[in-house]
Amino acid sequence: MIDLLALFGATAAVALICALALWLASIPLRDVSIIDMFFALIMVAITLTAFTLAAEQNTLQWLLLAMVSVWALRITAYLIGRNWGHGEDPRYTKLRSWVNNERAFLWLSLRQVFLLQAVVLWLASLPVQVGMHSGGAAGWLAVLGSVVWLVGLVTETVADAQLRHFRAQAENRGTVLCTGLWRYSRHPNYFGELCVWWGIWLVACEAPLGWLTVIGPLAYSYLVVNVTGQKTLDKKLAREKPGYAEYMARTSGLVPWPPKRAP
């Protein structure tokens, strides 16, 4: 247990250092949005720390390292391609209005954005940390978790590609994407993201204490659904985009499901 607590301390320190580095980089850039583009690399840093500090590297640990790394490389490449050069995200620009000077905003962004992200990522990575520390044989849970992870990775990759293609067409401006995966879920990318992390948790359950880390995917799921993702975006789009309320009425919020028929 002492070794595990030491690991938690080391990974928490790494998450904090990475968040502080991104915060410092955001100051001259005047762009808090860089946390969105590079948050996955914090998860890679946490994972590599746990992997390096493990007593041994077995199949389970290599599998967890590969799962996190592939996920992180994909989502980082996608977000950089989507966001780079487009300025600060309006959510963070709005945050600037909460205070009356730049110095106050710097400390606000540190607390409300960068340090909060570090805490969330550290919590979400608990299955990876315990799996790296405790090890274990790669059995049927690892197979099941890998399948769930792969379904999630493919789903969010396809959903992101469909959304990017849709937005690139000028005639689609102001309209709602309701074809492809988006016909069956309003947020198939979020569904895929959660599958990735629940799959990783299942793999980590091969470790003796892995099942206890369920707080990681539970916390991440709560945030994605209720705080930073699904519900927040639904409210924004229903307010700003014509036809979105009707789309909400007939389309599943998260889990892909056949749309409701019009009455």
190-221 core/surface letters (b: 16 or more CB in 10 A; e: else): bbbbbbbbbbbbbbbbbbeebeebeebbeebb
Which single residue is written with the structure tokens 């959903």? 159
Does the pLDDT value for residue 263 go beyond 60?
no
Does the pLDDT value for residue 254 go beyond 80?
yes
Over residues 73-130, the pLDDT tens digits come to: 999 999 999 888 777 777 777 778 777 888 888 898 899 899 999 999 999 999 999 9
Give the tokens for residue 245.
């309320």
Over residues 159-173, the pLDDT tens digits come to: 999 999 999 999 998
pLDDT of amino acid 45 = 97
pLDDT of amino acid 1 = 53
> What residue type is 97 in one-letter code?
S
Q: Are 245 and 238 in contact (CB under 8 A)?
A: yes
Over residues 192-202, the pLDDT tens digits come to: 999 999 999 99
Q: Are 217 and 201 in contact (CB under 8 A)?
A: yes
Which single residue is written with the structure tokens 């969105």? 36
Q: Are 51 and 132 in contact (CB under 8 A)?
A: yes
pLDDT of amino acid 2 = 54
Burial class (CB in 10 A: 0-12, 13-18, 19+), 94: exposed
Count CA within 13 A, CB hemisphere, residue 240. Answer: 8
pLDDT of amino acid 96 = 80
Does the pLDDT value for residue 261 go beyond 80?
no
- Averaged over 42-59, what is the pLDDT? 92
Q: How many CB atoms lie within 10 A of CB 101?
A: 8
Task: Give the helix ranges, DSSP H, for 30-58.
Answer: 34-53
pLDDT of amino acid 262 = 59
Q: Give the span between the Cα atoms of 253 and 149, in whole angstroms.
A: 20
More confident site: 263 or 92? 92
Q: Are 15 and 45 in contact (CB under 8 A)?
A: yes
pLDDT of amino acid 75 = 96
Q: Return mean pLDDT, the chain.
A: 91
The residues, ordered by sequence, that sit 6+ positions from 224 with a Cβ below 8 Å of its Cβ are 190, 193, 194, 230
Q: Whole-prediction pTM value?
A: 0.92
Return the percentage of the chain with pLDDT > 70, whole number. Answer: 98
- Averaged over 193-220, what is the pLDDT? 95
pLDDT of amino acid 56 = 81
Return the percentage of the chain with pLDDT > 90, whole number. Answer: 70
Burial class (CB in 10 A: 0-12, 13-18, 19+), 158: middle
Which among 192, 186, 199, 181 is positioned nearest to 237, based on CA atoms?
Answer: 186
At residue 63 the predicted structure's pLDDT band, cuts being 50, 70 and 90, is: very high
- At 32, is the secondary structure helix, strand, or coil? coil
Does the pLDDT value for residue 154 go beyond 80?
yes
